[in-house]
Chain A
Amino acid sequence: MTFLTVDNVTKRFGGLVALNAIGFSVAQGEIVGIIGPNGAGKTTLFGVISGFITPSEGEVSYDGHSILGISPDRLVWRGLMRSFQIVQSFADMTALDVVTTAALTRRPMREAIDYAAAALLRVGLGGKELKMPLTLSLQDKKLLELAKCIATDPRCILLDEVMAGLTMSETAAPIAVIQELNRQGVTIVMVEHVMPVIMRLATRIVVINFGEKIAEGTPEEILKDQRVIDAYFGDHIDA
């Protein structure tokens, strides 16, 4: 049973084709990784799925319905939540305020504050509730993105490079949170550059290059795929 389907999506920015007839589907409860070299179109793809970018052609459906033209905030209501690669922070709000706003999606004010505090605790940001997001370390900012996701009670989350810029030991906390969310039935689609992380977490991987899907399969299959090695890993395998 497919939960999220991207069907033949093309996005052109003027003459530039950012996405070219991309299609794949995600089943409920899966963790699907999306990889590809820089500029491959991963973030654009997330923009399309989460309602921020209207595709030039194609169809995106979620939970059995087309979601094209539905605004991002409505999608959050329906359980489709995304994080941003470039951490989006709010200048004059504490970490707790930001996560509380996310929690207000489904909860009244008083409950939302407690729920937000619990979400911060869960991702390992306990004690940093009253910090300004801008003053947090990169790792903590990424954890805050995760806390925002959790607080909206999502059914499907799109994680855009949550691990980028973190050391291997720093990835432990977000990995644990993602695995726990997944065990609770949350479907996860993640764009990631950190290969060991995605190889470990994802049940299936979609590889994109120059806006086109060049491979799809289990992590093992992807590692052996010559097209992927050529397009993406190249030097990494030799090194």
Chain B
Amino acid sequence: MKQEFYDTLSSPILWGVLLLAALLPFALSSYYLHIVTLALVYVALASSWNIVGGMAGQVSLAHSLFIGIGAMLSSALLLKLGINMWLGLVISAVISGVLGAMIAWIDFRFQLGHLSFVLITLAFAEMGAIVVEGWEFLGGASGMLLPKDTGDFLAFQFGGGSGSFWVMLTLAAVCVLVNVAILNAPLGFYLRTIRDNEKAAQAIGVNVLRYKITAMVISAVLASVVGTAYVRYLTFADPYLLISPVITIEIVLFATVGGLGRAYGPALGALLLVPLGEVLRGKLGSALPGLHYFIYGVVVIAVILATPRGLLPLFERQWERWRRS
């Protein structure tokens, strides 16, 4: 592990930001707290996706599958079999990890290449959605309603509002720190070489299969755990939201706008775009339905055109300039 990781962990800036963020529930109305909580969900998801999509350069569209398993399976286990949701979280995460390993193996075994990988992962995601919608055990097309969140921690309940916010803040911080850790560990070096040139990576001793699987498993497990926490926050396990490829597209979008492969890039993208989307929808959604999508799209296109490598590199350059002057 590079020294930078320990520097980050012991950085007063990190803990200062987290502490200030933790105080937000006392300052925000429930509407804005909801928006920030939602943003944190996407910070966690985009950061978990970044391990595969950004660092290893493998545009996986299978993440809705992992999020969906985390959400739908843990809900079904609780509602249909009475299994505690903490245990459900673990079971879902394990299954997601195994599926992730399987997808990575298929990719390597059949040397899929970038485009085929995208399509195969999308196919897995669609299959997941079909299974959920067609299988009553997982809620079918109508979804499942979780019991009211009374704040019973042992039952995976956080009381909604500020409690759920803190859970999401923790998850988001963990996902971002896992990114920092990987980038400063051998795994990060391996993944970056794999992204840029698999053959050349092998030629300097990188076991491509092993690290592709490792990246996918870490990413899938994190996404699944966030999925479980997200469904608990929503209380309603909606298959059209939680296991739809649309959620993956959003994640990919946030990560790309923020800065692919960077530890803080996807987080930045989610923190800016989720509130923007929500506020636009709140302000314009009723006035002219669809207009908020339009504006949102224009903003995203503008950002990608202006800074193809994402907003984070842009901010870093500005920061350098400001520091020097």
Binding site for B on A (CB under 8 A): 50, 52, 71-74, 76-77, 81-82, 84, 88-93, 97-98, 100-102, 104-105, 109-110, 112-113, 148, 151-152
By the criterion CB–CB under 8 Å, are B200 and A84 in contact? yes
Assembly CA distance A113 to B1 (angstroms): 11
Q: Is the CB of A152 within 8 A of B204?
A: yes
> Is B80 in contact with chain A by the CB < 8 A criterion?
no
- Asked if A90 meets B193 with Cβ closer than 8 Å, knowing A71-B202, A73-B205, A105-B204, the reply is yes
Q: In the complex, are the beta carbons of B196 and A101 less than 8 A apart?
A: no
* Interface members, chain B 238-279 (any A CB < 8 Å): 261
Taking a contact as CB atoms under 8 Å apart, the answer to whether A72 and B192 are in contact is: no
Known A-B contacts A88-B197, A113-B2; A73 and B202 likewise in contact (beta carbons under 8 Å): yes
Q: Which residue of B lies closest to A91 (CB)?
A: B196
CA distance A148 to B200 in the complex (A): 11
Chain B count of residues within 8 A CB distance of the other chain: 24
Q: Is the CB of A92 within 8 A of B204?
A: no
**A101 and B1 alpha carbons, distance in the complex (Å):** 13
Give complex CA distance A74, B30 in Å: 56
Chain A residues lying within 8 Å of B186, measured Cβ to Cβ, are: 101, 104, 109, 112
Given contacts A73-B208, A76-B203, A110-B2, contact A92 B261 (CB under 8 A): yes
- Per-residue contact bits, chain B 146-165, to A (CB 8 Å; 1 contact, 0 not): 00000000000000000000
Seed contacts A101-B192, A105-B205, A148-B204; 18 additional CB < 8 Å A-B pairs? A71-B207, A72-B202, A73-B201, A73-B205, A73-B207, A76-B203, A76-B205, A77-B205, A81-B204, A84-B203, A89-B196, A90-B192, A92-B192, A93-B196, A101-B201, A101-B206, A104-B186, A109-B185
B202 near A101: Cβ-Cβ < 8 Å: no
A-B contact pairs, 21 of them (CB 8 A): A52-B203, A73-B201, A73-B206, A73-B207, A84-B200, A84-B203, A88-B200, A88-B203, A89-B197, A89-B200, A90-B197, A92-B261, A93-B196, A101-B186, A101-B204, A105-B204, A109-B2, A109-B185, A109-B186, A112-B186, A152-B204
How distant is the Cα of A226 from the Cα of B87 in the complex, in angstroms? Answer: 78
